[in-house]
Amino acid sequence: MCPPTWFTVDYSINVWMRPEIPVDTALAVRQWERLRDIYQDLGHTVELLDPLPGLPDLVFTANAGIVLGGKALVSRFRNPERRGEEPAFLKWFEQRGFATLQADSVNEGEGDFLVLDQCILSGSGFRSDPASGTEVAEAFGRTVVGLTLVDPRFYHLDTAIAVLDGRRIAYYPQAFSPESRATLRELFPDAVLADEDDAAAFGLNALSDGRTVVLAKAAARLGAQIRERGFDVIGTDVTEFLKGGGGVKCLTLELRDAPPNPA
């Protein structure tokens, strides 16, 4: 995670970002600290990336890259406003002992690549290039399933799909092309289906450890559906970050099989 010290909205690279609406930085800090505290209360370790002035979206660490098996494939951003984040992410992973690669294709990390046991889901249509799926497959030796996003409100895959555990997901069907909906129905016939209101509240921009799902508290119906599937659910307020087009998942990058920090 990265503290929101410099988080603001002074440019617009998605439909949620409106620079004329000010960010309450103090409130954003409190919301971020509450999310961090939830993770720590659940027994997870939270590693921090130092915030940097001039990079307000650095707080959205899910976009840093894809982390799996001690390897990190660092993002290549589409928008010039975010390209300054790339060296900061690259340095962070290298200093912590990850086998680190820089993506060649436009690839916005775990914003558009979601890891499950048997495959990695890949989203394109607004940010990551479809060709980046091949690069990810080669980097991690995993099958990559490509999906096409069609609604600009859900410009990253992690705004339209939540991974609940290694084999189960929740998603909003209307965010996807007809072909991708068919793929999702085939792969996940028992998936939780979110409605438009909960999807627009960024309820699917959630983080799960396989037991507990942390999501935007405004997505109450979605939370109830997930709870019915046997998960614990914690709702938290991340409304300040929705002004930047982000939520719980955007604020969090999962470090799978992380190497020990150097002394």
**Structural domain includes residue 230:** yes
User: CA-CA distance, 55 to 46, in Å (whole number)?
Assistant: 21
What is the average per-residue pLDDT within 77-98? 97
In Å, how far are 1, 105, 141, 190 from 263, measured between CA atoms? 21, 34, 30, 45
Kindly list the strands in the beta sheet with 192-193, ordered across the sheet, starting from the edge strand earlier in the chain. 161-163, 169-171, 192-193
**Structural domain includes residue 138:** yes
**Structural domain includes residue 20:** no
User: CA-CA distance, 225 to 133, in Å (whole number)?
Assistant: 31
1-60 pLDDT, tens per residue?
999 999 999 999 999 999 999 999 999 999 999 999 999 999 999 999 999 999 999 999
Q: Give, as one character, the DSSP assignment of residue 76.
A: B
**Structural domain includes residue 232:** yes
pTM: 0.96
Closest CA to 184 of 168, 205, 203, 208: 168
Q: What pLDDT does residue 258 have?
A: 73
Q: What pLDDT does residue 261 have?
A: 59
Reply yes or no on whether the pLDDT at 231 is more than 90.
yes
DSSP H or E run through 188: none
Share of the chain above pLDDT 70, in %: 98
> At 144, is the secondary structure helix, strand, or coil?
strand
Share of the chain above pLDDT 90, in %: 97
- Compute how many other C-beta atoms are within 10 angstroms of the C-beta atom of residue 160: 28
Closest CA to 236 of 254, 249, 255, 226: 249
Reply yes or no on whether the pLDDT at 262 is more than 70.
no
**Structural domain includes residue 214:** yes
180-209 pLDDT, tens per residue?
999 999 999 999 999 999 999 999 999 999
Domain extent at residue 41? 25-242
Helices (H) and strands (E) in the chain, counts: 7, 12
What is the tally of structural domains in the chain?
Answer: 1
pLDDT band at 260 (very low <50, low <70, confident <90, very high): low
**Structural domain includes residue 252:** no
**Structural domain includes residue 255:** no
Catalytic residues, by residue number, are: 156, 250
DSSP H or E run through 167: none
What is the average per-residue pLDDT within 213-226? 98
> At 193, is the secondary structure helix, strand, or coil?
strand
Reply yes or no on whether the pLDDT at 263 is more than 70.
no
Burial class of residue 207 in the structure, from the number of CB atoms within 10 Å of its CB (0-12 exposed, 13-18 middle, 19+ buried): buried
Average pLDDT, the chain: 97
Residue 222 belongs to a domain with what CATH number? 3.75.10.10
89-126 pLDDT, tens per residue?
999 999 999 999 999 999 999 999 999 999 999 999 99
**Structural domain includes residue 14:** no
